[in-house]
Amino acid sequence: SQTIHQWPATLVQPVGSPLSLECTVEGTSNPNLYWYRQAAGRGLQLLFYSVGIGQISSEVPQNLSASRPQDRQFILSSKKLLLSDSGFYLCAWSGGLAGGGQFFGPGTRLTVL
Amino acid sequence: KQEVTQIPAALSVPEGENLVLNCSFTDSAIYNLQWFRQDPGKGLTSLLLIQSSQREQTSGRLNASLDKSSGRSTLYIAASQPGDSATYLCAVRISGYSTLTFGKGTMLLVSP
């Protein structure tokens, strides 16, 4: 069966510091991968998605970036965090076949102070 | 642009009640619809996935229906339990290769 991992689970960072969040998927190949942010009262916001290694689509202009160095690895990064980057970051995957659902990881709680 | 609305935003019921959560979407040309559950501080758990050609899906005490023409889906929870307390989100996909559009969720509290 497929599993999705995210780390770290929680993170507290000062404003202006760099960020690296990692997501890995097991038990499948060629998944579509997604990064979402969930802020209080604002619902789920899609940040990036990837249909293959090195292929990244950005949904929202911001100081975050994403990379996919391996088939089942998705990384969310920032060079300098802002207070507004605080939130709950969720990674998700879906199969390459059309019609499948999306499946989410446990999330990373990021607090920027 | 597809928009997804969930009503009510919050719901509180006593244990044992049957309840219905509503989801509406503005563009009826969807590919599929997915219901999720989210516990506080946790990720999303997929509950049910309904393809556009289907009218309903069932899993245990959960039943989800889809009416594409009216742009609506309902999640029916039978004999609710305190363990059902969570936020329930619906999301639609408009094509086989598109991303999901989420509603803001319904926060459910089931009291013992």
Min CA distance, A2 vs chain B (Å)? 13
Is there a contact between B61 and B79 (Cβ–Cβ < 8 Å)? yes
| Residue A90 contacts B where some CB pair is shorter than 8 Å | yes
Mean pLDDT on A65-77:
96
Residues B87, B26: Cα–Cα separation, whole Å: 22
Is there a contact between A20 and A77 (Cβ–Cβ < 8 Å)? yes
pLDDT band at B98 (very low <50, low <70, confident <90, very high): confident
| Residue B103 contacts A where some CB pair is shorter than 8 Å | yes
Question: Tell me: the pLDDT tens digits for B35-63?
Answer: 999 999 999 999 999 999 999 999 999 99
Q: Is the pLDDT of residue B74 over 80?
A: yes
Residues A103, A101: Cα–Cα separation, whole Å: 7
- DSSP readout, chain A? --EEEEE-SEEEE-TT--EEEEEEEES-SS-EEEEEEEETTTEEEEEEEEEETTEEEESS-SSEEEEEEETTEEEEEESS--GGG-EEEEEEEE-SSTT--EEE---EEEEE-
Min CA distance, A18 vs chain B (Å)? 23
Place of tokens 């929870």: B77
Q: Per the CB < 8 Å rule, is B44 touching A104?
A: yes
Residues A23, B15: Cα–Cα separation, whole Å: 37
CA-CA-CA-CA torsion sign (B45, B49, B55, B56): negative
| Residue A87 contacts B where some CB pair is shorter than 8 Å | no
The larger pLDDT score, comparing residue B90 to residue B1, is at B90
Q: Per the CB < 8 Å rule, is B34 touching A101?
A: yes
Min CA distance, B44 vs chain A (Å)? 6
Encoding tokens for residue B77? 């929870």
Predicted local distance difference test score (pLDDT) of residue B96: 67
Q: Is the pLDDT of residue A72 over 70?
A: yes
pLDDT band at A99 (very low <50, low <70, confident <90, very high): low
Place of tokens 């209080």: A40
Q: Per the CB < 8 Å rule, is B43 touching A105?
A: yes
Q: Which residues of B touch A88 (CB under 8 A)?
A: 41
Q: Per the CB < 8 Å rule, is A98 touching B91?
A: no
Q: Per the CB < 8 Å rule, is B99 touching A49?
A: yes
Predicted local distance difference test score (pLDDT) of residue B46: 95
Question: Tell me: the pLDDT tens digits for B9-39?
Answer: 999 999 999 999 999 999 988 999 999 999 9
pLDDT band at A60 (very low <50, low <70, confident <90, very high): confident
What percent of chain A is predicted at pLDDT more than 90?
A: 78
Spatial CB neighbours of A100, under 8 Å, sequence gap ≥ 6 = A94, B49
